[in-house]
């Protein structure tokens, strides 16, 4: 969602001095405001997994090598049964940059992916101690994996060319392309690029390989997803959660969208089942549903398949319902029709009677247990954002973050009781931080509906003082700025600069109900704008420390679109604007974005079939009314909202004679991911806000 680079060195301004007559916040006296340099260098805890007996937890810790401008990830381990023992210890050795940890079924070994050998391969390491062993040695990168229930086989994904009889064929074709001096590529159908990568004809496919002597994969892997023209897991963000082993180890279920010429316009993922011997073509289990079916999980007895399903084809933000399929009869039923929330993942309780899953709820992202018989959802862990979890027997581990804390690992019982902190973290780095205090508020928005938002006070807030405001607008548009942590759009980085922050979950946001989320489709420029206007007025009335005469509005993705729309439709309150990877011309966006189902659904049709609908809320048509200074940010590798959208917005502002700047990243996609780019992004944005909100 955000940007950064160009060789600028901008110093951070100090927090406003305390007036002699004002009372400082005692909790923040002597503490340091949070800034991007702290943000970029914080450790990131993720991917917790429990041993089968629930005693040990392994998790990943990503540390930043700021000089090298990248992160490196290691695994850590702790014995949860030894409650008074030492804290977690590092499990993997230096030199292993790892991801995707998993225990063997007997709990004696931890598997993980690593680039230690020069490519991404599967490795293992004994829990009791000993050196790591390279399990796979394929000529291609391993994309994901999942161990069979008996621990004797591994399902794994590899990107291969259709028609290649073996992995060496794909490697030879890649080498030939690399060595060729002719670099032109011919395409005969759309979806020629996705997220930040151009298509080269390969598909991520599902294979199975046997573990042999020495715990290494023996022989060539067997293609399981044969005759499937699609990616397993899905690209770019799919993982091993897209497939699951049957308990008897004889078959796999996986979710895939068949490609062909419908790929750029379809959200029809189906769940297939395939025998691991690769002899028969996979069988489609959910062909009757034209919408998205995802995340298959077998019951312990293998008779039921649980999964998540949408109902409306072409809508990527439809509600994911929890489903159960009787594999004998093929009959399906929705488990949670009365729970108006969208489920994230599926983990079954030890007795098979409950599904554990996260879901958005009123600005939070808790963990729930859903009773399979009744569909009743009970909150297990929250508040804040539960970003990951694992469950074994009566043991539960989860990572939780809030607006004042990055992810921290906790252990608990399966019912959410007896919670205790586990992870190594940055307590020492964060102990001296003066956090901006935050509060949720609500107001009547469009159609009289209740709309929620958050206000964050500046760090070292002083009662009785007014502060300039950063008005943040989230992307998606089906998203939320809630009680969670971000390494990109983090309100504490603005609070640390002396700004107050206002965020509104306008119609279209997630975590309220599906009708609220649906309300933005075909209404990008009216209903959410009304919510933002009413939310801004409500915040100014409720919070006297907000200086409404010194405020800038900022947003990325849909938020960037809204900034471009605000520039021509609501310029009055703002001293400056910041638009990051935002849509400028809705018609050209519809023709150039890769996932065209998104534009078709959100606009109500194609630019040639419904031109009036596409143009109705097109920011490009209102440039004549632009007048507010604007900073535009865009990444060259953003194929979701191509870079020409940002360049066009910059050109528009320049042609109008408006004070404007373009921050361009040649090596970033829809997000700003590299640490030094992130610092540049924050320094540039903060300097822009300060310039235009400074007292005259």
Q: Is the peptide bond before 297 cis (omega within 30 degrees of 0)?
A: no
The CATH number linked to 416 is 2.40.10
Q: φ and ψ at 178, to 5 degrees?
A: -65, -40
Per-residue pLDDT at 27: 56
The helix or strand, by DSSP H or E, that contains position 298, with its residue range, turns out to be: strand 293-298
In a domain, 101, yes or no: yes
Per-residue pLDDT at 28: 59
**Which domain-ending residue is among 425, 456, 472?**
425
Longest Cα–Cα distance of the chain, Å, equals 81
Global pTM value:
0.94
Per-residue pLDDT at 1: 35
Per-residue pLDDT at 11: 30
Q: Do 634 and 499 belong to one domain?
A: yes
Q: CA 458, 461, 462 angle in degrees (round to 5)?
A: 145
Q: Which residues of the chain are modeled with pLDDT < 50?
A: 1-23
Give me the helices (H) in 391-448, please: 427-430
- Residue 261 has a CB neighbour count (10 Å cut-off) of 11
Q: Strand pairing partners for 147?
A: 154
Q: Do 529 and 666 belong to one domain?
A: yes
Task: With H, G, I as helix, E, B as strand and everything else as coil, classify residue 191.
Answer: coil
Residue identified by tokens 């290494």 is 216
Q: Do 491 and 575 belong to one domain?
A: yes
What is the token pair recorded at 484? 């969670």
* Structure-derived torsion over alpha carbons of residues 401, 407, 410, 416, reported in degrees to the nearest 10: 30
Whole-angstrom distance, CA of residue 688 vs CA of residue 555 = 14
Per-residue pLDDT at 666: 98
In a domain, 145, yes or no: no
The helix or strand, by DSSP H or E, that contains position 682, with its residue range, turns out to be: helix 675-693
Mapped to the 3 state alphabet, what secondary structure does 455-492 carry? EECCCCCECCCCEEEEEEECCCCCCCCCCCCCCCCCHH
Give the residue among 435, 518, 520, 429 at the shortest CA–CA distance from 473.
520
CA Rg, the chain, in Å? Answer: 26
Give the residue among 659, 568, 663 at the shortest CA–CA distance from 617.
568
**Which domain-ending residue is among 134, 168, 195?**
134
Whole-angstrom distance, CA of residue 503 vs CA of residue 491 = 9
Q: Do 517 and 573 belong to one domain?
A: yes
Q: Do 569 and 476 belong to one domain?
A: yes
Per-residue pLDDT at 85: 62
In a domain, 514, yes or no: yes
In a domain, 142, yes or no: no
Angle between helices 527-542 and 558-569 (to 10 degrees): 80
Whole-angstrom distance, CA of residue 199 vs CA of residue 159 = 12
The CATH number linked to 557 is 3.40.50.1820
What is the token pair recorded at 412? 């608990």
In a domain, 484, yes or no: yes
- Residue 520 has a CB neighbour count (10 Å cut-off) of 24
Q: Do 344 and 442 belong to one domain?
A: no
Per-residue pLDDT at 335: 98
165 and 156 Cβ atoms separated by less than 8 Å: no
End-to-end Cα, the chain, rounded Å: 32
Q: Do 406 and 437 belong to one domain?
A: no
Per-residue pLDDT at 14: 29
Q: Do 62 and 107 belong to one domain?
A: yes
In a domain, 581, yes or no: yes
Whole-angstrom distance, CA of residue 163 vs CA of residue 152 = 28
Give the chain's domain count. 3
Whole-angstrom distance, CA of residue 663 vs CA of residue 534 = 31
Give me the helices (H) in 68-184, please: 167-179
Strands 332-334, 321-326: pairing is: antiparallel
Give me the helices (H) in 502-659, please: 514-518, 527-542, 558-569, 586-592, 596-603, 611-615, 643-655
Q: Do 641 and 529 belong to one domain?
A: yes
Q: Do 488 and 632 belong to one domain?
A: yes
Whole-angstrom distance, CA of residue 99 vs CA of residue 606 = 40
Q: Is the peptide bond before 471 cis (omega within 30 degrees of 0)?
A: no
In a domain, 398, yes or no: yes
Per-residue pLDDT at 428: 80
Q: Do 352 and 496 belong to one domain?
A: no
- Residue 627 has a CB neighbour count (10 Å cut-off) of 15
Mapped to the 3 state alphabet, what secondary structure does 632-678 carry? EEEECCCCCCCHHHHHHHHHHHHHCCCCEEEEEECCCCCCCCCHHHH
Domain that holds residue 73: 42-134
In a domain, 149, yes or no: no
595 and 264 Cβ atoms separated by less than 8 Å: yes
For residue 234, the Cα-to-chain-centroid distance in whole angstroms is: 14
User: pLDDT digits over 345-362, tens only?
Assistant: 999 999 999 999 999 999
* Structure-derived torsion over alpha carbons of residues 686, 687, 689, 693, reported in degrees to the nearest 10: 130
Q: Do 519 and 633 belong to one domain?
A: yes
**Which domain-ending residue is among 111, 134, 157?**
134
What is the token pair recorded at 45? 């805890």
Per-residue pLDDT at 87: 85
């Amino acid at each position: 969602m955000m940007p950064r680079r160009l060789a600028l060195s901008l110093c951070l301004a100090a927090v406003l001095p305390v007036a002699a007559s004002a009372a400082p916040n005692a909790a923040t006296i002597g503490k340091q405001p949070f800034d991007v340099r702290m943000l970029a260098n914080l450790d990131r805890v993720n991917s917790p997994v429990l041993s089968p007996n629930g005693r040990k937890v392994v998790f990943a810790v990503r540390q930043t090598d700021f000089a090298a401008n990248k992160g490196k990830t290691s695994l850590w381990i702790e014995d949860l049964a030894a409650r008074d023992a030492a804290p977690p210890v590092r499990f993997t050795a230096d030199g292993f940059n790892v991801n995707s940890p998993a225990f063997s079924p007997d709990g004696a070994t931890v598997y993980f992916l690593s680039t230690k050998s020069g490519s991404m391969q599967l490795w293992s390491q004994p829990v009791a101690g000993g050196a790591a062993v390279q399990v796979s040695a394929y000529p291609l990168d391993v994309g994901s994996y999942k161990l069979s229930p008996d621990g004797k086989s591994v399902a794994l994904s590899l990107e291969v060319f259709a028609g290649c009889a073996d992995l060496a064929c794909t490697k030879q074709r890649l080498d030939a392309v690399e060595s060729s001096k002719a670099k032109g590529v011919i395409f005969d159908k759309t979806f020629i690029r996705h997220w930040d990568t151009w298509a080269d004809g390969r598909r991520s496919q599902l294979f199975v390989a046997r573990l042999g002597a020495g715990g290494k994969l023996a022989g060539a892997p067997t293609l399981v997803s044969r005759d499937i023209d699609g990616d397993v897991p899905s690209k770019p963000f799919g993982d091993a959660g897209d497939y699951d082993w049957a308990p008897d180890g004889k078959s796999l279920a996986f979710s895939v969208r068949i490609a062909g010429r419908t790929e750029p316009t379809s959200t029809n993922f189906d769940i297939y089942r395939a025998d691991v011997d690769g002899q028969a073509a996979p069988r489609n289990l959910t062909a009757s549903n034209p919408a998205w079916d995802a995340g298959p999980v077998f019951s312990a007895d293998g008779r039921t398949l649980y999964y998540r399903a949408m109902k409306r084809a072409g809508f990527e933000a439809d509600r994911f319902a929890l489903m159960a399929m009787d594999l004998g009869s093929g009959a399906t039923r929705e488990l949670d029709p009365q729970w108006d929330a969208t489920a994230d993942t599926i983990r079954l309780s030890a007795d098979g009677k409950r599904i554990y899953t996260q879901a958005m709820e009123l600005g939070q992202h808790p963990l729930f247990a859903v009773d399979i018989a009744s569909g009743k959802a009970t909150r297990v862990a929250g508040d804040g954002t539960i970003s990951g979890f694992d469950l074994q027997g009566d043991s539960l581990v989860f990572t939780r973050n809030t607006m004042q804390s990055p992810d921290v690992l906790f252990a608990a019982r399966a019912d959410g009781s007896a919670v205790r902190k586990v992870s190594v973290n940055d307590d020492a780095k964060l102990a001296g931080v003066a956090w901006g205090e935050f509060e949720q508020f609500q107001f009547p928005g469009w159609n009289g509906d209740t709309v929620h938002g958050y206000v964050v006070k500046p760090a070292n807030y002083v009662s009785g003082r007014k502060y300039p405001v950063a008005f943040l607008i989230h992307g998606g548009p089906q998203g939320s700025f809630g009680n969670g942590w971000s390494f990109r759009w983090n309100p504490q980085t603005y609070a640390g600069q002396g700004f107050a922050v206002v965020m509104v979950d306008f119609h279209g946001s997630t975590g309220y109900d599906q009708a609220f989320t649906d309300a933005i489709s075909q209404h990008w420029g009216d209903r959410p704008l009304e919510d933002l206007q009413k939310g801004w007025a409500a915040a100014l009335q409720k919070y006297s420390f907000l200086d409404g005469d010194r405020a800038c509005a900022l947003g990325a993705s849909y938020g960037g679109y809204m900034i471009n729309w605000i520039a021509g439709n609501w310029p009055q309150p703002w001293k400056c604007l910041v638009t990051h990877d935002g849509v400028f011309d809705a018609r050209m966006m519809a023709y150039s974005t890769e996932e065209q189902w998104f534009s078709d659904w959100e606009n109500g049709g194609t630019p040639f079939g419904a031109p009036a609908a596409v143009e109705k809320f097109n920011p490009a048509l209102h440039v004549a009314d632009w007048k507010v200074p604007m900073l535009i940010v865009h990444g060259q590798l953003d194929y979701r909202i191509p870079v020409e959208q940002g360049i066009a917005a910059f050109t528009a502002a320049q042609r109008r004679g408006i004070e404007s700047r373009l921050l361009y990243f040649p090596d970033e996609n829809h997000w700003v991911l590299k640490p030094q780019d992130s610092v540049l992004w924050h320094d540039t944005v903060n300097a822009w806000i300060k310039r235009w909100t400074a007292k005259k």
